[in-house]
Structure 1
Amino acid sequence: MPTNAQGAGPTKDDQEPFPDKEATKTTRVRKKKGVAYPALLITQNSRRFYFSTIPVDDLFPSCFVSRRDDDPLTGFQRGLNESRANDIAQYLAAGSGSIPSNIVLSAQTSTGFSYSRSSKSISFSRAPFGFLVIDGQHRLWGYHKCSVQHRVPVAIYEGLTRAEEARLFIDINTTQRGVPATLLLDIKQVAEMENAREQLLRDLFDKLQSDPKSAMAGRLSASESVRGKISRVTFNRALGGALESGVLMDADPAVRYRLLSNYLNAFDAELPDKRNLAKSSYFEAIFEIFDEVVRNTISVHRSAKQSELQQIIRPLAQLDFTAGLGGKATLTKKALVGALQTTLRKALPISGDML
């Protein structure tokens, strides 16, 4: 898929192919041939566009993108990520995946693009730099790199100026927002896509949320990011490391839950400002030191009950992380972890029977 920022046809300097030599070869062979495909005409307000499906070999060689890095004056697309295109190609080749969302294209005058009402079809010439990719460059390249030659669903505009193409790109990327990561994670169970680690984290999240004795009851949000609550994404990120090493790794499920509950309840009991426990950076920071706190508590008190954990946690919970920040802002996660670790190591008591 060549790149050209102007849309009126490539200049000699602009003719840098999409990073695939075979695509350039195919373009040279087919550039004078015309094709036609059934299409559906859609009119929305003052705009018309055409829905169709086109074999990737007929489409890819004629497509190009207008990258901002290549042309600061009129370019508007982001750079291409080949690994993302490879992932799409592998997904499409797996035999069970499908991508129903269409590629959005703008037909250039060089294609001779036209629509026949009688046959309800579109026709165009296979010309290099014939279709500007407004949305879906990674999907299109993924289709091209796929070992299976699929038909590509497309929505094609015609007669757009470069300014109109850029505005359409902005509209697509500002009004059509992706699904939040929290919701995608929450519905993995429904889709039967959870791995063992995700299932374990889900069970812990749900139990801490529903247990009336849990400090996190009412402070967790399963399917969306809510201010003042911990989302599944934050929860999984915070507990992930603690589950992969240390005291939780091989613990019995019931013991694991009790230990987590004791730990969170101990912080909740000692924190002057209870709201800190539901702040993402603070929640993640306290689990960075989870293993160290638990091991120190067991070493000193021979127990990891909530009351014993509180004695180790008490000086940590008293730290004022808004000092010097106007009482409103908080430190970064990295700074929080550093302050907690320093305080923990200073506060660890040494008694004669330890020597």
Structure 2
Amino acid sequence: MTTQNISVTLITQGEHKFYSGTMEIDIIAATCSTNPREDDPQTGFQRTLDEKRALSIAEYIKAGGTIPSSIILSAQPDSNLTYNSKNKTISFNDAHGSFLILDGQHRVYGFRKLMNEGVKYRVPVIIYNDLSPTQEARIFIDINTLQRPVPKELLLDIKRLAQRESSDERMLDELFTNFEVEPDSYLLNKLSRIDKKKGKLSKVTFYDSMKPLLKEFNISNTDRLYSIINSYFMAANDVAEAEQFDLSEVITKATLFKILVAHSRAVITMISDNNPEDIDKISEHKKYLRRSLPGSFQEISDSKTYLKSVEVLDRKLLRRNITI
């Protein structure tokens, strides 16, 4: 067993003191351990490790990625951690189990997968000392409940800025923007770009609903797709009005929106097969929606079964009344 020394800053926050510094990932991998609750139901509090996630972190590091957030550790008795106030360093035993991971177990697991690959990489660490098991569990809870995750909608919206946008995401963003700003948009003032808002359709719901259209149809022009889908919504609204149902009031319900968009695939396919020159005409969409939507609005508005509801609408669309 050897002793390691690292430079640190001693920080006091209320009743707690901890050390802030940096450490090589091979040292972290060699000295840190977890206590998954699955393995230790009495004192364990960590989730079970995800092998795939750890591998992706290892690959991210090898590709030149950066990990600026701190690994949060609790020094265990076997670490024999001591603080030298004069040199502003801590020393500890270089042994497995010297530290318990309070936050960052998958990052550490990823580091462990790089131990024999000669990767040199330093990351920030926060090290608590002399914590009781109860204090460790409380800090774990605080870390995982007080930090609010970044909304998925915001992450989607800044992907282009980060140059991490796929071709599908670029097209979906263009389509979202059309529905967001075009004066004739059926969804005007009904969309929320960067977070979830009551009475608005989030960007995540919009993407999840519209993405299958990109896969099913050969879309080269999002303006054209906007025109087709917007006409579809307008036609659905006309059919709803005839049924004395206020579609515009409930269109922002995520499940209803996904059902209607999914059903549009069958409608667009039928128009494309029969009258492709009229594919962006409200009247043409209405002709087919009069088969499927009457009598269905309240059901799809209350639906919790997305796939079943789409199947019912598609069957009604294909059913024809034949008189002999």
TM-score by length of 1: 0.82
Which runs of structure 2 are paired with 1:241-320 in the superposition (5 Å)?
A: 241-246=212-217, 249-271=218-240, 272-274=245-247, 275-299=249-273, 303-304=278-279, 305-320=281-296
Match of 1:215 among 176, 183, 186: 186
Give unpaired runs (5+ residues) of structure 2. none
- What is the DSSP-based 3-state SS (H/G/I as helix, E as strand, rest coil) of the residue aligned with 2:251? helix
Match of 1:227 among 198, 203, 213: 198
Q: How far off its partner does 1:162 sit?
A: 0.8
In the comparison of the two structures, how many residue pairs are matched? Answer: 314
Q: How far off its partner does 1:321 sit?
A: 5.8
Give the structure 2 partner of residue 58 of structure 1.
Answer: 27
C-alpha distance 38-350 of structure 1, shift in aligned 2 (>3 A): farther
Whether the 8 Å CA contact 2:10–2:19 is kept in 1: the answer is yes
Give unpaired runs (5+ residues) of structure 1. 1-31
The answer on 1:34 being equivalent to 2:7 is no
Letter matched to residue 173 of structure 2: R
Whether the 8 Å CA contact 1:38–1:122 is kept in 2: the answer is yes
Letter matched to residue 181 of structure 1: K
1:117-171 Cα distance to aligned partner (Å, 9 max, x none) = 1111111011221111111001112223234221131101111111111111111
Deviates most, 42-51 or 330-339: 330-339
Whether the 8 Å CA contact 1:270–1:310 is kept in 2: the answer is yes
Q: How far off its partner does 1:38 sit?
A: 0.3
1:147-203 Cα distance to aligned partner (Å, 9 max, x none) = 422113110111111111111111100001221111100111222221221111101
The answer on 1:238 being equivalent to 2:209 is yes
C-alpha distance 194-306 of structure 1, shift in aligned 2 (>3 A): same
Give the structure 2 partner of residue 332 of structure 1.
Answer: 305
Within 1, Cα distance between the matches of 2:197 and 2:294? 26
Q: How far off its partner does 1:295 sit?
A: 2.5
Within 1, Cα distance between the matches of 2:323 and 2:72? 71
Q: How far off its partner does 1:252 sit?
A: 4.1
Whether the 8 Å CA contact 2:250–2:301 is kept in 1: the answer is no
Q: How far off its partner does 1:244 sit?
A: 1.3
1:219-277 Cα distance to aligned partner (Å, 9 max, x none) = 1111011122211111111111111123xx14544432211221122223333132332
Whether the 8 Å CA contact 1:50–1:156 is kept in 2: the answer is yes
Which runs of structure 2 are paired with 1:130-279 in the superposition (5 Å)?
A: 130-146=98-114, 147=117, 148-246=119-217, 249-271=218-240, 272-274=245-247, 275-279=249-253
- What is the DSSP-based 3-state SS (H/G/I as helix, E as strand, rest coil) of the residue aligned with 1:278? coil
Whether the 8 Å CA contact 2:235–2:289 is kept in 1: the answer is yes
C-alpha distance 38-202 of structure 1, shift in aligned 2 (>3 A): same
Give the structure 2 partner of residue 103 of structure 1.
Answer: 71
Which runs of structure 2 are paired with 1:67-106 in the superposition (5 Å)?
A: 67-95=36-64, 97-106=65-74
- What is the DSSP-based 3-state SS (H/G/I as helix, E as strand, rest coil) of the residue aligned with 1:340? helix
Whether the 8 Å CA contact 1:321–1:330 is kept in 2: the answer is no
C-alpha distance 350-254 of structure 1, shift in aligned 2 (>3 A): farther
Within 1, Cα distance between the matches of 2:68 and 2:189? 38
Whether the 8 Å CA contact 1:183–1:222 is kept in 2: the answer is yes
The answer on 1:342 being equivalent to 2:315 is yes
Within 2, Cα distance between the matches of 1:204 and 1:279? 19
What CA RMSD, in Å, does the superposition of the two structures yield over aligned residues?
2.2
Match of 1:114 among 82, 85, 92: 82
Within 2, Cα distance between the matches of 1:88 and 1:341? 43
Provide the identity percentage.
36
- What is the DSSP-based 3-state SS (H/G/I as helix, E as strand, rest coil) of the residue aligned with 1:206? helix
Letter matched to residue 176 of structure 2: F
C-alpha distance 187-252 of structure 1, shift in aligned 2 (>3 A): closer
Give the structure 2 partner of residue 8 of structure 1.
Answer: none
TM-score by length of 2: 0.90
C-alpha distance 351-297 of structure 1, shift in aligned 2 (>3 A): farther
Whether the 8 Å CA contact 1:104–1:156 is kept in 2: the answer is yes
Whether the 8 Å CA contact 1:208–1:217 is kept in 2: the answer is yes
